[in-house]
Structure 1
Amino acid sequence: MPAAISAAMFLRVILAVVMVACAVAALSSPARADLDDELKKAGWDEITFDDKSPNLFSAINAEHGRVDGVRVVSQSTVSIAFLNVTNDLKKRPKLTWQWRVDTKVIDTDLTREGGDDRSLAIYVAFPYQPEHASFGEKLKRAAVEALKGKDTPGRVLTYVWGGGAAKGAMTENPYAGSYGAFIFQRTPRDPSGQWLTEEVDLRADFIKAFGHEPASPVYIGIGTDTDDTTTRAEAQVQGIRFIE
């Protein structure tokens, strides 16, 4: 696994898809001390957003510098914990994890901008692939790279536990347009307070969302968002693994 990157790097993952869609949101501030020491030692970092209070992230199942899970507590807050990953999608095209929401699941419409809080989300970021970019995207990409760097990823799949669509539905990320996709893995009608196991086909989902073969993902993020509804959410994720 490569060395940990700065919070600014994962910010590129989120902002890149927003910028190329011409929908730039408020820029994020540098990471703050909202990750516990075990997460930091394991290479996790955090993105926080200007004028928004951050979530609190702590490690679960930590041993000898390794962390198998993350707990997040959100109270009118929003931020994302993220980790560098390396994986050959040709050998391991699927992702599995277990997650649980320990409070009432937030039910907002994630398909619309504004008020789009969620109890839990898993972000998977992929590199920019110029060979698959349209002429218009290539023109926009030049501006993205000038502002954020040539290594800025170009696509994000977000597996959400939240409202706005039926379970299994795939929609455009309202902030990113065709450069980001939401997959509604769980909805407010799924049970809280218990571990649920997921297995997703990243390659198939990427092709469905973006119409071409993906490169291997570079970052995975975990986030909770309660700043609009000013509610409290507690959730956990563990056992994130790439599998055949």
Structure 2
Amino acid sequence: MTSIKFPMTRRAFGLGAAATAGALFSGIGVARAAAVPFDESWEHLTFRRLEPNQFTLGDGQLRVVADGSSSIFYRMLEHSFHGAQRASWTWQVDSSVPPSDLSTIGTDDRNLGLFFVSVDAAGAERVRPGTNIRSLMTNRSARILMYTWGGNTPLGSVVPSPHAPERLRNLITRPAGTGRFTETVDLAADFPKVFGQPLERLVAVAVSSNSENTPARVEATVSGLTVT
């Protein structure tokens, strides 16, 4: 298993801080918090021969149920978000998969993954509402950092996904188990540490859960997603 550990750049902060977010960016690189709402702009990516998860929008949050299932819920970001360099969110897990080996297909179950998708400026210009996240994964410049709740390696470990190890990598943020936490992450610092390449344009976000390999059920929520 390929696993690299470095000091985490995330930090926990009071839940009240998320309530101050909401102002939109006025242009690329402007460091002001902007909410990424859980609304009808999100789309569901499913996989052949796998039961999809249940993703439910409501009350300003995303509810996730994975019961022998796997899929991804994603959203393309408007141009005004492309210069974001930090992110924050609150996530809660009420029912958890056990620790797992995220480096191997067939064992890579996790409670939650928060994806942040970076592409170069030329690729970002081609992103539109309705762009399928599959197309981003074939872009040579694409790098997808997944802050992961699960796995069996220490916090701060980097575990390349066995499905796309060069472009999709897990950064272990919480161990398998239940609880509720609010995270703040420094995307601009984490992308070079995880990929050896800088964060370029932040063009999409996504939420995943996997429980197709173990007899376990994930019940979780994600809320308060903002980028800065």
Match of 2:129 in 1: none
Asked if the contact 2:94/2:219 (under 8 Å) is kept, the reply is yes
Asked if the contact 1:127/1:151 (under 8 Å) is kept, the reply is no
Asked if the contact 2:114/2:148 (under 8 Å) is kept, the reply is yes
Q: Does 1:126 align with 2:118?
A: yes
Match of 2:22 in 1: none
Q: Percent identity of the aligned residues?
A: 29
- 1:180 maps to a residue whose letter is L
Q: Kindly indicate whether structure 1 or structure 2 has the higher relative contact order, using CA contacts under 8 Å at least 6 residues apart.
A: 2
Gap change, CA 1:178 and 1:150, over 3 Å in 2? closer
Match of 1:200 in 2: 185
Gap change, CA 1:51 and 1:233, over 3 Å in 2? same
Match of 2:57 in 1: 59
Match of 1:47 in 2: 45
1:230 CA displacement: 3.3
CA RMSD of aligned residues (A): 2.7
Query: Which ranges of structure 1 fall in alignment gaps of 5 or more residues?
Result: 1-37, 62-67, 131-146
Q: Within 5 A, what are the aligned runs for 1:13-92?
A: 42-61=40-59, 68-86=60-78, 87-89=81-83, 92=84
Match of 1:237 in 2: 222
**Alpha-carbon distance in structure 1 between the residues aligned to 2:204 and 2:70:** 19
Q: Does 1:156 align with 2:141?
A: no
1:102 CA displacement: 0.6
**Secondary structure in 2 aligned to 1:160?**
strand
1:217 CA displacement: 1.2
Asked if the contact 1:111/1:164 (under 8 Å) is kept, the reply is no
Query: Which ranges of structure 2 fall in alignment gaps of 5 or more residues?
Result: 1-36, 123-133
Q: Does 1:223 align with 2:208?
A: yes
**Alpha-carbon distance in structure 2 between the residues aligned to 1:178 and 1:161:** 20
Match of 1:95 in 2: 87
- 1:71 maps to a residue whose letter is R
Match of 1:170 in 2: 158
**Alpha-carbon distance in structure 1 between the residues aligned to 2:58 and 2:92:** 13
Q: Does 1:187 align with 2:175?
A: yes
1:174 CA displacement: 2.4
Q: Which has the higher helix share?
A: 1
Q: Does 1:114 align with 2:106?
A: yes
Asked if the contact 2:136/2:142 (under 8 Å) is kept, the reply is no
- 1:186 maps to a residue whose letter is R
- 1:74 maps to a residue whose letter is A
User: Following TM superposition, where does structure 1 have runs of at least 4 consecutive aligned residues deviating by more than 4 angstroms?
Assistant: 147-151
1:85 CA displacement: 1.6
- 1:48 maps to a residue whose letter is T
Provide TM-score, normalisation by structure 2: 0.70
Provide TM-score, normalisation by structure 1: 0.66
How many residues matched? Answer: 179
1:105 CA displacement: 4.0
Q: Cα deviations across residues 44-88 of structure 1 (Å, max 9, x unaligned)? A: 110000011111111132xxxxxx320011111111111112424
Gap change, CA 1:213 and 1:195, over 3 Å in 2? same
**Secondary structure in 2 aligned to 1:204?**
helix
**Secondary structure in 1 aligned to 2:193?**
helix
